[in-house]
Amino acid sequence: MRAAQTRVVVDDTFRGVTRRLESLSLQLTEAESLLMIEVDGARIVCHRIGNGRPIFVLNGFGATSADWDPSCIDRLASSNELILLNNRGIGGSTDDGEPFDIAKLTADAAHVMERRTS
């Protein structure tokens, strides 16, 4: 493939990805609300999407709520209220500057669940 052809393919691919991301962003901002909950010196950011029975959607250690497959989230949110939690220190959540581990993240999630259901 020549350089000019390669550039066209890359440009078209980039435009397609950009359009997809823009449409996802519009869908999420229309249907979601943002929760910010203070927990032990940190602010935990959660996105609430959908209505119905609440489901807490937790990520791995370093992933954010934006990492979930949008089609999975859309399907779950069609009949449930999803609470997508960003762990401390990532995805808009802050931390207290101290080291933390999975036990601390578990305690954070439990605190958010308690606050959400009370």
Structural domains of the chain, ranges and CATH numbers in brackets: 32-117 (3.40.50.12270)
Answer whether 90's CB lies under 8 Å from 61's CB: no
- pLDDT value of position 15: 54
Does 23 score more than 80 pLDDT? no
In tens, the pLDDT along 26-50 reads 344 445 799 999 999 999 999 999 9
- Report residue 16 CA to chain centroid gap: 22
In tens, the pLDDT along 36-85 reads 999 999 999 999 999 999 999 998 878 999 999 999 999 999 999 999 99
Name the more confident of 22 and 98: 98
CB atoms under 10 Å from CB of 108, counted, come to: 22
